[in-house]
Amino acid sequence: MAGKFITFEGGEGAGKSTQIARLKSRLERMGKTILATREPGGSPYAEDIRAFILAGNAKPLGAFAEALLFTAARIDHIDHTIAPALRAETHVLCDRFADSTRAYQGASGEVEPALIRSLERAALNGLRPDLTLILDLPPETGLARAGARRETRSEEIDRFEAEDLTFHRKLRETFLAIARTEPDRCAVIDADRSADDVEGAIWEIVSSQLPRLAGQRERNADVA
């Protein structure tokens, strides 16, 4: 795959969409071809599954069934959006990916982590993000940001935002545990500061991990 694949992860209201838009603009100003996409969603069938899940329709089926639906959406998204873009040398910035299934469906405690990992292996079929940026902040702060935005848009609270604080704290722990387990792929960004500061921290990581993408000169250990 010629394009680079960067995923953004974190709890509710962590600032992923904001930072994806900023990184996309910055890279485009440098002449790079960028595709910003999201999960669940990012392809027509996956967007249908997104609407079904986020309306809470799959909740009665349990966390394992939800994990299956997220995985089905991911397969369609990879096949129709992500893989073709990477093959065409487009760099892909993705708002959530497989780590969200590990964290959100894992946080329920109802699904064995090994089962989630088996689903992930089957769905990804060897695809792996080049870099995963985990935007970390206290869940209270992220939920407050998401709630304030929802009020300005007069939107309903969605399926996962409505979970209790214990769930959201478990999510945060799970994302941090993923970063500890895969330090070569993941970087944790302190997202509890201004959007400008978060943008700067993300750019530092992208420049050091993927220097060619960021227009830097390559060093010996570069992966870009």
The site for ligand T5A (CB under 6 A) is made up of 10, 12-18, 38-40, 54, 70, 95-96, 100-101, 104-105, 145-146, 149, 158, 160, 194-195, 198
Cβ nearer to ligand T5A, comparing 98 with 214: 98
The token pair at 153 is 């848009």
Minimum CB distance to ligand T5A, residue 163 (Å): 9
- Asked whether the beta carbons of 142 and 14 are under 8 A apart, the reply is yes
**Helix, strand, coil tally for the chain in percent (to 5):** 55, 10, 35
Cβ nearer to ligand T5A, comparing 89 with 190: 190
Residue 134 host element (H or E): strand 131-136
- Asked whether the beta carbons of 39 and 77 are under 8 A apart, the reply is yes
Q: Can you tell me the distance from the alpha carbon of 203 to that of 12, in angstroms, rounded to the nearest whole number?
A: 22
Minimum CB distance to ligand T5A, residue 79 (Å): 16
Minimum CB distance to ligand T5A, residue 220 (Å): 34
Minimum CB distance to ligand T5A, residue 211 (Å): 25
Cβ nearer to ligand T5A, comparing 145 with 169: 145
Cβ nearer to ligand T5A, comparing 85 with 119: 119
Of the candidates 140, 139, 120, 122, the residue with the CA atom closest to the CA atom of residue 182: 120
Cβ nearer to ligand T5A, comparing 147 with 215: 147
Cβ nearer to ligand T5A, comparing 96 with 170: 96
Minimum CB distance to ligand T5A, residue 70 (Å): 4
Question: What is the DSSP code string of 161-217?
Answer: TTS-HHHHHHHHHHHHHHHHH-TTTEEEEE-SS-HHHHHHHHHHHHHHHSTTTTTPP
Minimum CB distance to ligand T5A, residue 114 (Å): 17
